[in-house]
Chain A
Amino acid sequence: MADNNLLLDVRDLKIGATIQVPGEKPYDIEIVHGVSFTLEKGKVLGLIGESGAGKSTIGLSSMAYGRGSVEITGGEVWLDGEQILGHSHDQIRKVRGRKVAYVSQSAAASFNPAHRLGDQVIEAAMEHGLSSRSEAKAFADHLFAKLGLPDPDNFGRRYPHQVSGGQLQRAMTAMALCSKPDLIVFDEPTTALDVTTQIDVLAAIKDAIHDTGTAALYITHDLAVVAQISDDIMVLRNGEMVEYGSVDQIINNPQEDYTKSLVSVRSILKEEGGELDAEPVLNCRNITASYSNSIRVLHDVSMHLHKGQTLAIVGESGSGKSTMARVITGLLPQETGDIYFKGQQLPRELKQRSKEELRSLQMIYQMADTAMNPRQTIGQIIGRPIEFYFGVTGREKRKQVIELLKKIELDENFYDRYPAELSGGQKQRVCIARALAAKPDLIICDEVTSALDPLVADGILKLLLKLQKETGVAYLFITHDIATVRAISDSIAVMYMGKLVRFGPKSQVLEPPFDDYTDLLLSSVPEMELGWLENVLKHRKMESAGH
């Protein structure tokens, strides 16, 4: 190698996979079509793209690893002067965990539940004979402290289920760093975390790789996150490189249309609704609810929502926002408090509610996949509520379904197709149509865009707003994503630990003066500017010093 600083040199990488549809002959497809990039020692390259862009697959190829039926079919991967694709199984074992380490999206699933964290963290170093057990343990404790884990000397004695998700993600970073690799592949390490946790983990990762001089491939779908941590960024789409350049160039001066659309995503903004009917569609008064009579998950929560408007309930996992939806739908009857729907008191339990009440309150779920019967056609799925609530059958039903399909911007051909043939965004559209088919007054949207790529999610949000304008339906929008809240809501309820922290029209809730939690939540949302992370952390330090 001419360049001594060059660590990873990927040339014309091609990756294929075998698709096996039950009952059909397996066939091969190519998922990465000739991608090349280089990475110098101690640098961070961000790989960014939507799902299916091939970014994780490319990241894992630097360890010569293919998940499931994925196989590297062409090209070269030079790691520190060695072409690792030609390595035998035993040779590649000496690269994995020693020269390259991997941090996955879900640390909770990636730690073995049967072993203590400490043993797992030092395992790679032990396996490769890099240090003695006591040395490795001392280094692991050092890393735990560096990554800001509580009680670092004893942290390793705990089991995965005994620590939180954010702590596990840090522990996994420690596990990767422990064998002092040259390169770490971070595969969406903060995506599964709450936004207030994400910022700390992000800062910890950034510090740790900076201090140890480890190079990194940082894979994410969130451009704002990768802008905080990378030196260079490669934008990928459908297994091909779209754009490759320095962070500054990609964020501030994107050349390709696709990159521009990623940078400018969330262009939607709903104007806050003005005139309000005297009576809200939904009015929840002092709701208290518990699971199995012991753990109280909602404490005295009140909120209301008017016709044709969107109320966004925002909060982190465990805040009680989904529980609120379960109470409103009657799945979890509240202990105390009342719910008024269109002025009438709503029975607590689902069983006591009339068909009319059921019809006018519909739901859309996060996972469109699991919310549809895979053995029914789209026509049957959307037609079911039409038949059930209005008794419409035959040709008239078909006509109404096709009208609904037009409303969700899908054509007539979808009528006879099955959910499995649709993309994620299309499936969610079908779920929206099914909810609309009942002609409801209120639709509860539970994280409906969380599982979707940003551009697809944007399309769904636009559709929801359009439909709201046409039909005057109200949305109760449950989400953890502040950007979505900004985009579509009229009023906002901020929840934290089962309590309502803040409630009011969007303009009031998102404007200072803030309470402590809302401030923390809003300032934790990554922004697409260089140095944002440092600024926020500096700001927080000054604030806490001032207190």
Chain B
Amino acid sequence: MLSNPLIRMIAQRLALGIVLLFAISLVIFIGTEMLPGDVAQSILGQSATEQSLANLREELGLNQPAYVRYLDWVGGILQGDLGTSLTNKQDIGSMIGTRLGNTFFLASVAAVMSVPLAVLLGMIAVHYKDGFIDKAISMSTLGAISLPEFFIGYLLIYFVAVQLGWFPSNALVHSGMSLMEKLYAVALPATTLTLVVLAHMMRMTRAAILNVMSSAYVETAELKGLSSFKIIFHHAFPNAIAPIITVVMLNLGYLVVGVVVVEVIFVYPGMGQLMVDHVIKRDMPVVQACGLIFAATYILLNMTADILAIIANPRLRHPK
């Protein structure tokens, strides 16, 4: 089985991803160890005495050496146990569960909107290269990426939610809502995220396709009398896909990990908010769990990008 180069390369990537994840768990743990502040202090606040602080530390297991706590933590995770929150004694797994679902939901909606749109706009830009439409697409997407996301968010809230009243300004979702209701609720944050990630993906699509447009096989296609869109879509795009995938995955990573601001603006109950809240409370197990999940998402997406780029190469898919 491993003699197939494709499978071997994918297996390599997977193994590398797992190693990387362990390395990151260590970095996260050390990083949170180094943070200033003390959870016992922040729980007890002003009423803390020397004795009560010591008792609480004992109770929370903070007195054990760092490596023991690290091994406990990693061991727990391997068994599916993310630990309990120090501040409210809840199980972190169930605390994160719904939040993570919400974050993934918002990211997916934004991805479904932005990825096809970016690729399509990129192809249109190639077709009208250096013309008015190309420049208009470039200018508008660049404009969108240049505005800070909170500004786009507030613009949308002001015009679309307040003036026009089409969509709600806060994106509160809960488990009782139907899919359509949820989609309606996240319309504005998803649009904000789309505007933020669109330009990057669109410009890479344009550049990658233009790069192969000067190749001999595109000339062959042109001399067959094919239509311009068929040349771009059928002949250029499949050969430009590897760099496009990479950029798409980077942006999908951002959609999951970098949405804190958008979540706050639209009061969306996602992971970003959860993490920020618990950083303030010095609740390290929660912060660590969030960090690890974010890291895993990033690694998974980039690994997917690698694997897809490998699969997209016909030389590897169909060895001699």
- The answer to whether A and B belong to the same complex is yes
Residues of A that sit less than 8 Å from B by CB: 63, 65, 67, 92-98, 101-102, 104, 106, 109-115, 123-124, 127-128, 158-159, 161-162
User: Is A65 in contact with B224, judged by CB distance below 8 angstroms?
Assistant: no
| Residues 211-226 of chain B, each 1 if its beta carbon lies under 8 Å from chain A, else 0 | 0000111011111111
CB distance from B256 to the nearest CB of A (A): 30
Tell me whether B89 is interfacial, beta carbon within 8 Å. Answer: no
User: Is A97 in contact with B238, judged by CB distance below 8 angstroms?
Assistant: no
Interface residues of B in 133-147 (CB under 8 A from A): none
Residue of B223, B238, B239 most packed against chain A (CB within 10 A): B223
User: Is B225 in contact with A128, judged by CB distance below 8 angstroms?
Assistant: yes
**Complex-state Cα separation, A162 to B5, whole angstroms:** 15
Of the candidates A65, A95, A104, A128, which one forms a contact with B216 in the assembled complex, judged by CB atoms under 8 Å apart?
A104
User: Is B315 in contact with A96, judged by CB distance below 8 angstroms?
Assistant: no
**Complex-state Cα separation, A247 to B315, whole angstroms:** 43
User: Is B315 in contact with A113, judged by CB distance below 8 angstroms?
Assistant: yes
Tell me whether B64 is interfacial, beta carbon within 8 Å. Answer: no
Tell me whether B65 is interfacial, beta carbon within 8 Å. Answer: no
Say yes or no: A112-B235 contact (C-beta < 8 A), given A67-B219, A104-B220: yes
**Complex-state Cα separation, A426 to B239, whole angstroms:** 38
**Complex-state Cα separation, A96 to B220, whole angstroms:** 10
Say yes or no: A65-B223 contact (C-beta < 8 A), given A112-B235, A114-B239: yes
Residues of A within 8 Å of B175, CB to CB, are none
Query: What are the nearest 5 A-B pairs in CB distance?
Result: A97-B224, A96-B225, A114-B238, A97-B225, A109-B216
CB distance from B225 to the nearest CB of A (A): 4
**Complex-state Cα separation, A115 to B235, whole angstroms:** 8
User: Is A113 in contact with B239, judged by CB distance below 8 angstroms?
Assistant: yes
User: Is A127 in contact with B224, judged by CB distance below 8 angstroms?
Assistant: yes
Residues of B within 8 Å of A123, CB to CB, are 221, 224, 226
User: Is A102 in contact with B318, judged by CB distance below 8 angstroms?
Assistant: no
Interface residues of B in 51-108 (CB under 8 A from A): none
**Complex-state Cα separation, A246 to B169, whole angstroms:** 82
CB distance from B137 to the nearest CB of A (A): 22
Of the candidates A102, A113, A158, A161, which one forms a contact with B217 in the assembled complex, judged by CB atoms under 8 Å apart?
A113
| Residues 236-247 of chain B, each 1 if its beta carbon lies under 8 Å from chain A, else 0 | 001100000000
User: Is A113 in contact with B225, judged by CB distance below 8 angstroms?
Assistant: no
Interface residues on B, range: 20 to 34
Residues of B within 8 Å of A110, CB to CB, are 216-217, 219-220
User: Is B225 in contact with A93, judged by CB distance below 8 angstroms?
Assistant: yes
Say yes or no: A115-B226 contact (C-beta < 8 A), given A110-B216, A110-B219, A159-B314: no
Residues of A within 8 Å of B215, CB to CB, are 109
Residue of A106, A111, A161 most packed against chain B (CB within 10 A): A161
CB distance from B235 to the nearest CB of A (A): 5
**Complex-state Cα separation, A330 to B238, whole angstroms:** 41
Say yes or no: A93-B220 contact (C-beta < 8 A), given A114-B238, A159-B314: no
**Complex-state Cα separation, A115 to B239, whole angstroms:** 10
**Complex-state Cα separation, A101 to B219, whole angstroms:** 12
CB distance from A417 to the nearest CB of B (A): 30
Residues of A within 8 Å of B216, CB to CB, are 104, 106, 109-110
Chain B residue with Cβ nearest A158: B318
| Residues 195-230 of chain B, each 1 if its beta carbon lies under 8 Å from chain A, else 0 | 000000000000000000001110111111111001
Chain A residue with Cβ nearest B235: A112
Residues of B that sit less than 8 Å from A by CB: 215-217, 219-227, 230, 234-235, 238-239, 314-315, 318, 320
User: Is B224 in contact with A111, judged by CB distance below 8 angstroms?
Assistant: no
Chain A residue with Cβ nearest B228: A89
User: Is B223 in contact with A161, judged by CB distance below 8 angstroms?
Assistant: no
Could you give 20 example pairs across A and B, Cβ below 8 Å?
A63-B223, A65-B222, A67-B219, A92-B225, A93-B227, A96-B223, A96-B225, A97-B225, A97-B226, A102-B223, A109-B217, A112-B221, A113-B239, A113-B314, A123-B224, A124-B226, A127-B230, A159-B315, A161-B314, A161-B315
CB distance from A93 to the nearest CB of B (A): 4
**Complex-state Cα separation, A159 to B223, whole angstroms:** 21
Say yes or no: A96-B217 contact (C-beta < 8 A), given A112-B235, A114-B314, A161-B320: no
Residues of B within 8 Å of A101, CB to CB, are 223-224
User: Is A159 in contact with B226, judged by CB distance below 8 angstroms?
Assistant: no
Chain B residue with Cβ nearest A160: B314
**Complex-state Cα separation, A67 to B134, whole angstroms:** 22
Residues of A within 8 Å of B238, CB to CB, are 112, 114-115
User: Is B239 in contact with A112, judged by CB distance below 8 angstroms?
Assistant: yes
Residues of A within 8 Å of B315, CB to CB, are 113, 159, 161
Chain A residue with Cβ nearest B241: A114
Residues of B within 8 Å of A92, CB to CB, are 225
Residues of B within 8 Å of A112, CB to CB, are 217, 220-221, 235, 238-239
User: Is A124 in contact with B318, judged by CB distance below 8 angstroms?
Assistant: no
Chain B residue with Cβ nearest A98: B225
Residues of B within 8 Å of A95, CB to CB, are 225
Residues of A within 8 Å of B224, CB to CB, are 96-97, 101, 123-124, 127
Known A-B contacts: A106-B216, A110-B216, A127-B230. Give 20 more (CB < 8 A). Answer: A92-B225, A94-B225, A96-B222, A97-B225, A98-B225, A104-B219, A109-B215, A110-B220, A111-B217, A112-B217, A112-B238, A114-B235, A114-B239, A114-B314, A123-B221, A123-B226, A124-B226, A127-B226, A158-B318, A161-B318
**Complex-state Cα separation, A94 to B225, whole angstroms:** 6
Residue of B221, B234, B238 most packed against chain A (CB within 10 A): B221
CB distance from B252 to the nearest CB of A (A): 23
User: Is B222 in contact with A124, judged by CB distance below 8 angstroms?
Assistant: no
CB distance from B181 to the nearest CB of A (A): 42
CB distance from A66 to the nearest CB of B (A): 11
Say yes or no: A162-B226 contact (C-beta < 8 A), given A106-B216, A109-B215: no
Chain B residue with Cβ nearest A106: B216
**Complex-state Cα separation, A97 to B227, whole angstroms:** 12
CB distance from A172 to the nearest CB of B (A): 8
User: Is A162 in contact with B318, judged by CB distance below 8 angstroms?
Assistant: yes
Of the candidates B220, B225, B318, which one forms a contact with A111 in the assembled complex, judged by CB atoms under 8 Å apart?
B220
Chain B residue with Cβ nearest A112: B217
**Complex-state Cα separation, A460 to B74, whole angstroms:** 72
**Complex-state Cα separation, A199 to B225, whole angstroms:** 31
CB distance from A107 to the nearest CB of B (A): 9
Residue of B220, B314, B315 most packed against chain A (CB within 10 A): B220
CB distance from B54 to the nearest CB of A (A): 63
**Complex-state Cα separation, A273 to B226, whole angstroms:** 59
CB distance from B211 to the nearest CB of A (A): 14
**Complex-state Cα separation, A114 to B230, whole angstroms:** 14
**Complex-state Cα separation, A95 to B225, whole angstroms:** 7
**Complex-state Cα separation, A255 to B117, whole angstroms:** 64
**Complex-state Cα separation, A123 to B222, whole angstroms:** 12
Residues of B within 8 Å of A113, CB to CB, are 217, 239, 314-315
